[in-house]
């Protein structure tokens, strides 16, 4: 089963994907992780991708999508996998569908997370990430704080704030870019009948764990 996570930064994609991964035993996959792995292992696609990344350029879809599909073909992803933040546009989604179909697979469920914009900004400003690249667990100082301040519950490494998470105007700019480029994916997957939209909001008291629990019930039906 292939699950996609959609939603602007700060809506809780990483948190919900992590909870689903932990419960189902399926890998949580991001393009960043895939790029780093392929570059480290010096695979043909990794070498190609690094030519763009090293220059600060975006990796073309014809490299990115095959890398994602290759990752889905690995043994730990055979029962299921959760793609966190990919695809990011219609072109990537169409290419992903095409390559998955060639391998007898498809996108089975798309979870679209929404939140009020003021809450998103507050969450990102309070977001902290494990500095251990093998862990990278995400926390929120108000909604999902670590047991010990500044320390990851899972591995004991230091928690850090990403540089672009500390600038409110930069956060607003990123949200605008998401609305422009990624929101069309919501309509794309809705037409396919695989979209499930869930709101995470402190105002309603519905948080990431509640959403993850409901999605697990749907998967296990």
The answer to whether residue 76 is domain-embedded is yes
The answer to whether residue 127 is domain-embedded is no
Q: Which residue range(s) make up the domain with 210?
A: 2-115+182-220
Catalytic residues: 13, 88, 127, 162, 174
The answer to whether residue 32 is domain-embedded is yes
DSSP 127: E
Summarize pLDDT for 166-208 with one digit per residue, the tens: 888 888 888 888 888 888 999 999 999 999 999 999 888 888 8
Task: Collect all residues with Cβ–Cβ distance below 8 Å to 2 and sequence separation of at least 6.
Answer: 72, 80, 81, 83, 100, 105, 106, 107, 108, 109
CATH number of the domain encompassing residue 210 = 3.40.50.300
Q: What are the beta bridge partners of residue 140?
A: 127, 144
pTM over 0.85? The answer is no
Summarize pLDDT for 97-125 with one digit per residue, the tens: 998 898 888 999 999 999 999 999 998 99
Task: Collect all residues with Cβ–Cβ distance below 8 Å to 77 and sequence separation of at least 6.
Answer: 26, 27, 29, 71
The answer to whether residue 158 is domain-embedded is no
Question: How many domains does the chain contain in total?
Answer: 1
């Amino acid at each position: 089963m292939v699950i996609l996570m959609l939603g602007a930064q700060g809506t809780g994609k990483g948190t919900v994907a992590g909870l689903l991964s932990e419960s189902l035993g399926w890998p949580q996959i991001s393009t960043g992780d895939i790029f780093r792995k392929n570059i480290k292992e010096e695979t043909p696609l990794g070498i190609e991708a690094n030519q763009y990344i090293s220059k600060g350029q975006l990796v073309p879809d014809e490299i990115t999508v095959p890398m994602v599909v290759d990752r889905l073909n690995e043994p730990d992803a055979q029962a299921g996998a959760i793609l966190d933040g990919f695809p990011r546009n219609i072109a990537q989604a169409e290419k992903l569908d095409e390559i998955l179909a060639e391998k007898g697979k498809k996108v089975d469920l798309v979870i679209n997370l929404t939140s009020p914009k003021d809450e998103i900004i507050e969450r990102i400003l309070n977001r902290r990430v494990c500095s251990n690249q093998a862990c990278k667990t995400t926390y929120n100082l108000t909604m999902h704080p670590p047991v010990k301040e500044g320390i990851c519950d899972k591995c004991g490494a230091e928690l850090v704030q990403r540089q672009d998470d500390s600038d409110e105007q930069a956060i607003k700019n990123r949200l605008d870019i998401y609305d422009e480029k990624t929101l069309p994916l919501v309509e794309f997957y809705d037409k396919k009948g695989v979209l499930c939209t869930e709101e995470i909001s402190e105002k309603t008291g519905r948080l990431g764990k509640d959403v993850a629990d409901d999605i697990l019930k749907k998967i296990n039906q």
